[in-house]
Amino acid sequence: MSYFRTASRFTAPVLASLGLALSLTMLPGCGARQEGETATATADSTTQKPVVVDTIALKKQAMRRDSLKADSIARKNGQLPGAILPGHRIVAFYGNIRSKGMGILGREPKEQMFRKFEGVLKEWQAADPSIPVQAALHNVTITAQGTPGKDGKWRLMNSKATIEEVISWAREHNCILFLDVQPGHSTLQVEVPKLEQYLKQPDIHLGIDPEFSLSTMPGVRPNQRIGTLDAKDVNWTINYLARLVSENKLPPKVLTVHRFTRKMLTNYKNIKLDPRVQVVMHMDGHGEPTLKKDSYHDYIQTEPVQYTGFKLFYEYDARPKPHHIMTPKEVLTELTPKPLYIQYQ
């Protein structure tokens, strides 16, 4: 990965099953049939005309009914069981454990980093005692690259060993974990399913980064231009995570979407929320406090989706002097709404 930009234990009750039971008489043997195959029936030894089973349409119908059921539960109880937000404030260290250049996660030796993290968590809890802090690690797991690679997609996924190591770090220190995707010239629809075995676990969540989504910009190298995602891409991701939640009886997933320009996310009003997925629009820009507050106002506050996040940079926010990294108290008193996801890079 040669090219990078730049507290309490997670406990959640098992989510009640939201699966939709389909009548076996409607779909005989559907579990063994591949998409596009046909179902046949016989009556009085006469072969009837084959019936084409539109499995894609059935899945969409099931997901819609499942979502309506989730909506009804959320309306009754306020949120689904095990939801992290808005009852907690997530505070995360961001980076990649195999890189010193991506962020605080990976920049310092493991135990030194966690000692620093413990102090940060205490600062946030002291700044707002009314809401418990949920510690998190945010590991960039599919990373935009400075070279195209064999398939020309300009991105590289962490090895299984690296992913399992960062999972163990998180669980050792009572953190939830975000796996972050920078798709390069690939797409979320191709890259996110590569993480499915991990996203099926209740303490693992997802981040997506439009800055490094360049599939609509042929020939553009990551970091030459700021990428973009559309509401339809976010909706696809929400639907994907919602399905995992229902199929695996998980508590709601948290999805963070990085943003620091308007064009990074188009048609935000078309984002369709689902109670099985909690969406955080995350102000990802660095700079002096006034600039960061203005960006938060322009791209997060005035274009609301659901929950909000705010990033603090150890290396860049304090340059040049007398600029400084905003304190927890400053963030909470100077930003509206108060962000429920805080990330340190």
Q: From first to last of the 345 residues of the chain, give the pLDDT tens digit.
A: 433 333 333 333 333 333 333 332 222 233 332 333 333 233 333 445 555 667 666 656 665 666 666 666 665 556 899 999 999 999 999 999 999 999 999 999 999 999 999 999 999 999 999 999 999 999 999 999 999 999 999 999 999 999 999 999 999 999 999 999 999 999 999 999 999 999 999 999 999 999 999 999 998 999 999 999 999 999 999 999 999 999 999 999 999 999 999 999 999 999 999 999 999 999 998 889 999 999 999 999 999 999 999 999 998 998 877 788 999 999 999 999 999 999 999
* Of 243, 245, 292, the residue nearest 84 (C-alpha): 245
Question: Which contacts qualify for 55-64: CB closer than 8 Å, 24 or more apart?
Answer: 55/30, 58/22, 58/27, 62/20, 62/22, 63/239, 63/242, 63/243
Judge residue 151's burial from the number of C-beta atoms within 10 Å of its C-beta, 0-12 exposed, 13-18 middle, 19 or more buried: exposed
The C-alpha atoms of residue 265 and residue 235 are separated, in whole angstroms, by 12
Considering the domain 89-344 in this protein, what is its CATH number?
A: 3.20.20
Q: Domain ranges in the chain?
A: 89-344
Contact 103, 96 (CB under 8 A): yes
Alpha-carbon distance of 231 to 160, in angstroms, equals 30
What residue ranges in 224-276 does DSSP mark as E strands?
229-230, 253-259, 265-266
Residues 6+ apart with CB under 8 A from 330: 289
Q: Which two tokens stand for residue 98?
A: 């195999």
Predicted TM-score (pTM) of this structure: 0.80
